[in-house]
Amino acid sequence: MAESSIPWGRRTQQAPALEAMHILWITAGLGCDGDSIAITAATQPSLEDLVLGAIPGLPQVHLHHPVLSYENGDEFLASWFGAAEGRLDPFLLVVEGSIPDERIGGEGYWAAVGVDRETGQPIPTCAWIDRLAPRAWGVVAAGTCAAYGGIHAMEGNPTGCMGLPDYLGWDWRSKWGLPIVCVPGCPVHPDNFMEVLLYLLKQAAGRAPMIPLDENLRPAWLFGQTVHEGCDRAGYYEQGDFAEGAGSHQCIVKLGCWGPVVQCNVGKRGWMAGLGGCPNVGGICIGCTMPGFPDKFMPFSEIPPGAMLSTTAVAMYGKAIRALRRFTQASMNREPERRAGSATRGEAGRLPATP
């Protein structure tokens, strides 16, 4: 199918529904395998739900993951070589870890997996992406490293590493017309990633339209709001009530939290089974789902420049709001006088004494 045959806005029902989908997961980028570890905590859905076919109407899933696979060595890489040669179709390519620039690697290489059958030399991660991406049904960047470069791409790194959109191009499309799908996070949120994977499988089955993405190729419904907008502590910010140290239940913006501007749903969703999540347990947001992470959010634990102005501006307003709320609260904490009638408080409703 031609690359331009499925525009962003059209439904994939126009393409034949797929009965099976292979998932080739590359962990050989520059990373810590944290995204692979994170997805084992997912419950909405779980990885087991997809692999075992517990959700009706989806293509059968065949997962090829270097840690979770039963195969190893040449037996494991057989699927990769098959996909690169067009013998494993369709497949979804998932990349974990940032992509190094092998052009500046000199005589060695920055990252590789497997051995070239002809030369006997290691196959760089970039070479696998070059071989697999053009044949893939779709490409997903798992975690901020794969999406935007992340920690390894910060200023001063020697590898020249980058995210998939910078490597393949921000306007890149798969042969089925899908753009790169970036699911950032350091590590990726378990349920966010699995929900995206579920959506793509529904799309492959012809049961969902083209996945909606924002300008940074993130799923729009997951990254459309800020941490602050879903944070349990947001009410304290609004009334100018800020924590001065760790362990407080108040707003932690003055401790260095970037929640008011960072697009992430962890405050609302929690981390695992609805529990945890950075601000929910007193951890500041350091912007790990944003393309500018980490350079633009450093040094961590210092109040963001914008927060210095906004917290100062809200202080007087918040002080007045707190006073008004205490006044109203005191009024609401008293029973209406009519309930007591003419009896004094403590005597109303008391039964007459028995002789």
Q: What is the DSSP string of 166-190?
A: HHH-TT-B-TTSPBPEEE-BTTB-H
Average pLDDT over residues 244-265: 92
Residue 344 CB coordination number (10 Å): 8
Predicted TM-score (pTM) of this structure = 0.86
Between 34 and 337, name the one with better pLDDT: 34
pLDDT on residue 123? 95
- Residue 291's pLDDT band, with cuts at 50, 70 and 90, is very high
Query: At residue 99, what is the residue type?
Result: I
| Cα–Cα distance, 194 to 176 (Å, whole number) | 21
Give how far the C-alpha of residue 86 lies from the chain's centroid of Cα atoms, to the nearest Å. 31
CB 265 within 8 A of CB 223: yes
Cβ contacts of 36 within 8 Å, gap of 6 or more: 25, 27, 65, 67, 68, 96
List beta partners, residue 138: 92
Per-residue model confidence as pLDDT tens digits over 194-248:
999 999 999 999 999 999 999 999 999 999 999 999 999 988 888 888 998 989 9
| Cα–Cα distance, 204 to 208 (Å, whole number) | 8
Per-residue model confidence as pLDDT tens digits over 293-326:
999 999 998 887 767 667 766 767 777 777 887 8
Per-residue model confidence as pLDDT tens digits over 158-176:
999 999 999 999 999 999 9
pLDDT reading at 252 higher than 90 = yes
Q: How far are the Cα atoms of 17, 80, 166, 196, 352 from residue 176, in angstroms, in the given order? A: 12, 19, 20, 17, 84
CB 282 within 8 A of CB 246: yes
Report the first-to-last Cα separation within the chain, whole angstroms.
96
Output b/e per residue, 146-162; b: 16+ Cβ within 10 A.
bbbbbbbbeeeeebbbb
CB 318 within 8 A of CB 234: no
CB 124 within 8 A of CB 102: yes
Per-residue model confidence as pLDDT tens digits over 28-76:
999 999 999 999 999 999 999 999 999 999 999 999 999 988 888 899 9
pLDDT on residue 15? 62
Q: Which domains does the chain have, with CATH numbers?
A: 12-204 (3.40.50.700), 225-325 (4.10.480.10)
| Cα–Cα distance, 159 to 30 (Å, whole number) | 9
Q: Share the mean pLDDT of the chain.
A: 88
